[in-house]
Amino acid sequence: MAAAPAVTDIPEGFERHFRQSPLTDPWEPLYSKRTDKAVIIGLRLAKPHTNARGMIHGGLIAALADSAMGHSCGHVMMGSSSLVTIGLAIDFVGTAQVGQWLAVEPEVIKTGGGTICFAQSLIKADGVLIARANATFRVVPKKE
């Protein structure tokens, strides 16, 4: 049986995620890769990411998808706004295991008048689709 990949086995182009939060602190280390149109979030799955049955928890996947889509909307909108999630849907089509690389690959579908953003994501474990998500974000005033 092959050994699980080391945490240092991070795909090319990913670096430590630029934003931390109390929600994601227990899931660290998180990684991200910026493209012209998206912020892809990834992590090497580990035991703290599992549910009581030893499977990767769907709540982790949903939260990371929400985060990646929100960061992507902000990235496309040139970081000029803060965004809050007003709608989120996720469909699970597979499972992920400890040791796999989880990547959330978002796509911004549309921004509207600086007040709203629509995005979708494919969530993959070692390149295999395990979920898809979509979200709607509303622009809110930035906190000082």
Q: Cα dist. 127→34, 46, 53, 95, 104 in Å? A: 18, 17, 23, 12, 10
Query: If DSSP codes are grouped into helix, strand and coil, which group holds residue 25?
Result: helix
DSSP conformation class of 50: B
In a domain, 35, yes or no: yes
Range of the domain at 129: 21-140
Alpha-carbon dihedral 33, 39, 44, 46, rounded to 10 degrees: 150
In a domain, 87, yes or no: yes
In a domain, 88, yes or no: yes
Give percent of the chain with pLDDT exceeding 70: 93
In a domain, 32, yes or no: yes
Stated as kind and residue range, the H or E segment containing 68 is helix 58-76
Stated as kind and residue range, the H or E segment containing 121 is strand 116-125
Question: Does residue 112 have a pLDDT over 90?
Answer: no
The CATH code of the domain that includes 33 is: 3.10.129.10
| Number of domains making up the chain | 1
In a domain, 14, yes or no: no
Average pLDDT for 8-15: 89
**Residue 48 pLDDT grade (very low, low, confident, very high; cuts 50, 70, 90):** very high
In a domain, 107, yes or no: yes
In a domain, 85, yes or no: yes
In a domain, 44, yes or no: yes
Q: Cα dist. 64→3, 16, 28, 110, 133 in Å? A: 26, 15, 12, 20, 10
